[in-house]
Homo-oligomer: A and B are copies of this chain.
Amino acid sequence: MKLLITGGAGFLGSLLARTLLGRGTLAGRRIEQLVLSDLAPPAAELLAHPGVVARTGPLLAECSRLGAERFDGVFHLASAVSGECEADFDLGLRSNLDSTRALLDALRAAGNVPRLVFASSAAVFGGDPPSLALPSVVRDDTLPLPQTSYGTQKFVCEQLLADFTRKGFLDGRAVRLLTVSVRPGTPNGAASGFLSGIIREPLAGQATRCPVALDTMVALASPARTMSALIGAYEASRESFGGRTALNLPALSVRVADMLGALETVAGPRVRALVRLDPDPAIERIVGTWPARFEAQRAARLGLEPDEDFLGIVQQYLRDHPAAIRVDAG
């Protein structure tokens, strides 16, 4: 089978590519070609793999060509992130809405009804005062009230995907990804970036700031659970996916204080002390619109589970990124 990953050079796209190449199959079929589309070329280690092809350039410009390649399956991860979309409204509309629309149009034109997993986001949820509040627990039928341009664009794309699916133009499954922690590498401009940074930077021996209060509760998923969600959504039968509505995912709900507690458990108080509390009202405002607790029954029926605890997530990071650890930890 021939697969496309948009955003294939990003963190999640690269990890998905490595995960799929490691498996060799998807939904019972052998992966023969894996096309990685992104603004930047993929990592050399991925490009060196036989069967991996890079398509480098803006997705909006690549779409019609990509559509003509008649992919069996697509993971559509390409996206501008929340902070970027708030700072540059046109960039968000172009990168998230127009590009997704162009991709759907191109895949429809190809005519082979590919399966497509769309990386939506829990940022579709929020409260819209004074009439509509964010409920304390997000359920499968909770009304999304996006309070950022990023969340709005993701929610709009969910709707378009559902209708393209209803019409039989493709087999779409939208999955509302949670904040992924711990991300490796450098900060990416997302308002949620600190939820990786407060673990990653101290483990690299670097001071960092925490822009929200310690008792802030957040909903997270590890990179491994995020891969399970994307692949699980792809491999689910149309019936077991449970409708065309986007899927909420099981979340680990954790206080920032407990995240730092896990850091201290693996690396000690001196490493924990590298995190300086430095509230940023702009970040606090955005994070405050995101839900912290999920009851994801549809996802549970698909066999998707939340991370067990944040200590396990930190241990996953230590295991997967030994070269990034510059302190005594483990």
Contact = CB atoms under 8 A, between A and B. Distances in A.
A155 interface: yes
Contacts of A244: 128
Contacts of A131: 140, 242-243, 245, 298
Given A131-B298, A132-B140, A141-B132, A146 B167 contact: no
A147 interface: yes
Interface residues of A, number: 30
Nearest to A298: B131
B166 A160 contact: no
B140 A142 contact: no
Interface string A123-158: 000001111100000001111111101001001100
Contacts of A162: 128, 146, 152
A11 interface: no
A163 interface: yes
A167 B140 CA distance: 28
Contact of A130 (B143, B159, B243): B243
Contacts of A149: 163, 167
Contacts of A239: 130
Contact of A243 (B128, B166, B167): B128
A166 B298 CA distance: 31
A152 B101 CA distance: 14
A141 B152 CA distance: 17
A131 B142 CA distance: 13
Interface of A: 89, 128-132, 140-147, 149, 152, 155-156, 159-160, 162-163, 166-167, 239, 242-245, 298
23 contacts: A128-B162, A128-B243, A128-B245, A130-B239, A130-B243, A131-B242, A131-B245, A131-B298, A132-B245, A142-B143, A143-B144, A145-B243, A145-B245, A146-B163, A147-B166, A149-B163, A149-B167, A152-B159, A152-B163, A155-B159, A156-B159, A156-B160, A159-B159
Q: Which 10 A-B pairs have the closest CB atoms?
A: A131-B242, A128-B243, A152-B163, A131-B243, A143-B143, A128-B245, A156-B156, A141-B143, A131-B298, A156-B159
